[in-house]
Each structure stands twice: as C-alpha cells, then as structure tokens.
Amino acid sequence: MNHLIKSMRNNIWDDNPILRKILGICPALAVTNLVENAIVMSLGVLFVMSLSELTVSIVKKFSDKHLRILIQMLIISWYVIIVDILIKLTVPEISKSLGPYVGLIITNCLIMGRCEAYAQFNKPLHAFFDGIISGISFGIILVLIASIREILGFGTFLEIQVLNSNWSTIGLFTIPAGAFFVIGIFIWLHNISEEKMRGDIND
C-alpha cells in the first residue's frame, strides 16, 4: 500500500507525464477547449491505458520479443475501438466535437511508453494500477488546462456561467495558440516549484 501511494505521488507530481516527460501532448492540447471534452478524453485514456497495460502484462509471456511493439499497438487499438463505440453511444455530441482525437489515443506516446517501460516487466495487477495512476495524472493536467481555457475564453465552466458579463472573455484562450501558451506556462511553473521543493529537502 505504501508503495502504491509513493508511486502515485511520484507519478502525479514529480514525474507528471505531460509536464515532465512531455508525452501525450497532442490530445492534451487539442481537446482542452472545453472542460467536458477534457473529462471524456481523460476517462477514455484512463480506460485504454489501464486495460492495455493489464493485457500487455498478461500476454508478455506468450509473445515474441521482436513482435512486441506490434502486439502492443494492436492491443491499444482494440481498446480504443471499444472506447470510441462507448463514447458514441453515451455522449454523441461530445464524440462529434472530439472528432479524430479519440482514434488518436492509439498514437498517444504515453500509453505506448508505459506499456513498454512498465507493463513489460511487471505483474498484471501492478501494471493495471500503474495504468490507472498514470491515467489520473494525465487527466488532472488535462482538466486543469481545460478549466483555465474555458473560464478565461468563454467565461463558463462545464457550460455554467461563472464569470459575470462585466468580465470580457479573452478569445486567445479559445484558439489553438492559447493552448500552447497555457501549457508552456504550466511547464514553467512546474519547473519552478519543483526546484523549490528540492531546495527544501536539501536544506
């Protein structure tokens, strides 16, 4: 249990997939114009990542080493198809606005990275939890970026008006360029706080 908490903290903050390793950036930027898109995307990634890691970890004994990348890719695509169908069934409007980005979960380097670096060498249950933790740490940043962009860009949060009409909304945050700025500043702040923390430990 202790091990789990430690790896969770490590994953969510110290080694955050988006802010630290700069993995899985494409969806992080593309779907963060609205919070609801970001939430659906995070859940999709969480689902695909945990189950793919579980499956990769189970089949690792039977699969050939040279073919493992291909097998991992097939496993991931298989789960992405399920997610795509699920999203289309439950929230059809969001599925339309997510467009091709659901399919692009396949090439999300984060999922491949975790399968290759963790699930390949660990027990199925550990791999499954690793997938959940990585998915959560990915989702937190996604939803944070989306909140900033939606509140400042549209004045709403989950389509509920939060800024009153005296506030002028900033169009910059609704367009792609805004996403680049927000994530750039996030990485900046993360680096600063990271150094502060490390300094505290050294003192």
Partner 1 sequence: MIEINPLVILFAAMLTNNMLLSNFLGMCSFIVISKDVPTALGLGQAVTFVMTCTTVINFLLYYYVLVPLELEYIRYIVFIITIAAFVQLVEMFIKKYFKGLYSSLGIFLPLITVNCAILGASLFMIIRQYGLIQSLLFGLGSGIGWTMALVILSSINIKLEKAPIPKHLKGAGMTFIITGIMALAFMGFSGLVSI
Q: Which residues bind partner 1 (CB under 8 A)?
A: 22-27, 29-30, 70, 73-74, 77-78, 80-81, 84-85, 99-100, 103-104, 106-109, 112, 175-181, 183-185, 187-188, 191-192, 195
Residues 192 and 68: their CA atoms lie apart, in Å, by 38
Handedness of CA 172, 174, 180, 186 (dihedral sign): positive
Handedness of CA 58, 62, 68, 71 (dihedral sign): negative
> Cβ closer to partner 1: 15 or 84?
84
Q: Least distance to partner 1 from the beta carbon of 124, Å? A: 23
> Can you give the C-alpha Rg of the chain in angstroms?
18
Q: Least distance to partner 1 from the beta carbon of 127, Å? A: 20
> Cβ closer to partner 1: 35 or 126?
35
> Cβ closer to partner 1: 125 or 185?
185
> Cβ closer to partner 1: 114 or 126?
114
Q: Least distance to partner 1 from the beta carbon of 34, Å? A: 15
Q: Least distance to partner 1 from the beta carbon of 104, Å? A: 5
Q: Least distance to partner 1 from the beta carbon of 93, Å? A: 15
Query: What residue type is 36 in one-letter code?
Result: E
Q: Least distance to partner 1 from the beta carbon of 57, Å? A: 20
End-to-end CA distance of the chain: 29
> Cβ closer to partner 1: 27 or 153?
27
Question: In the structure encoding, which two tokens stand for residue 36, read together?
Answer: 């609801």
Neighbours of 110 (CB within 10 A): 23
Neighbours of 164 (CB within 10 A): 7
> Cβ closer to partner 1: 8 or 187?
187
Residues 28 and 44: their CA atoms lie apart, in Å, by 13
**At residue 120, what are phi and psi to the nearest 5 degrees?**
-60, -30
